[in-house]
Amino acid sequence: MHQIFKDHLEYHNQNGLEYIQFKRLLQYPEIVHCYTLRGKENNLNFPSANRDEKTLKQSYAKICKQLHLDPNKVIKPYQTHTDKVEIVNEVKKLEQIDGLLTQQEGLVLLTTSADCTSLLFYDPENKAIGSVHSGWRGTLQAISKKTVEKMVKEFGSRPQDIICCICPCIKQCCFEVDQEVRDLFYEQYQNMKDIEKIIVRGQAKDGRQKYFIDTTKINQELLLQAGLKIENIIDSGICTMCHPEYFHSYRAEKENSGRNAALMSLICH
């Protein structure tokens, strides 16, 4: 059971409230993190901000209670597939922001996804955390690399100290795109190592020619370019579209899809 959850992950089910944690991040008692699952009763859903405030707050309350965090300290940006990363020191409304960073204890950084890539960052030397949403447009704009650059500039982080965990997201097996999107990625990353394996030609289920892109590999390469050590980049290895029983997946459910949450917080001392 739960065979998709690899050795580097911990799976939790508390009264139907399901989430996973990265064992690497659990080594640091000063931080709390998780990536939420939908639950068998579909009881965790973090829809887009301003769209369903009641459901958002209910989900905040559920997961924060479980993790002993203050739901009133949650910061959830209105994500619009940008490359913008914001440093936050207090709860506030944020629009057109897809990444959050802080050194402030008690704040709960929360970004959401449904197939897009969620990234959790931690610099244990400078006690800086981040939660970043990297959809395909964000990946195209290298938001993961820009996050590292911002941590270096604003917090004095050293890239070799930064840990990045790549949460479940749509993998190359399911991320099929048309020629137009393929060309955007190829133009941007044609010089990237193994680009011919990152972008491959194939067929969709209906027989039409499509291209399949490995956005996880792109983000891994971008993080390496930014100076992270390979052992500090931890991939969940899970495809959200392949496992809609566990994860909200936009491609599997279309407009009926909910959202999973990637959450990080520094614990108050």
Angle, CA of 31, 34 and 38, to the nearest 5°: 165
Q: What is the pLDDT of residue 242?
A: 93
Q: Please count the residues of the chain.
A: 269
CB atoms near residue 87 (< 10 Å): 16
Q: Which one-letter amino acid corresponds to residue 257?
A: S
Q: Taking all residues of the chain, what is their mean pLDDT, rounded to a whole number?
A: 91
Q: What is the pLDDT of residue 122?
A: 98
pTM of the model: 0.94
Q: What is the pLDDT of residue 173?
A: 94
Q: What is the pLDDT of residue 268?
A: 66
In this model, does residue 49 exceed pLDDT 70? no
Residue 10, helix vs strand vs coil: strand
In this model, does residue 105 exceed pLDDT 80? yes
Q: How confident is the model at residue 53 (pLDDT cuts 50, 70, 90)?
A: confident
Q: What is the pLDDT of residue 48?
A: 60
Q: What is the pLDDT of residue 225?
A: 97
Stronger pLDDT, 24 or 257, i.e. the higher one? 24
Q: What is the mean pLDDT of residues 74-82?
A: 92
pLDDT digits (tens, 9 = 90+) for 145-191: 999 999 999 999 999 999 999 999 999 999 999 999 999 999 999 99
The interaxial angle of helices 143-155 and 215-225, nearest 10 deg, is 30
What structural domains and CATH numbers belong to the chain?
A: 9-175+214-266 (3.60.140.10)
> CA distances (Å), 169 to each of 154, 174, 217, 233, in order?
28, 10, 12, 15
Distance of CA 2 to the CA centre of its chain: 21
In this model, does residue 137 exceed pLDDT 90? yes
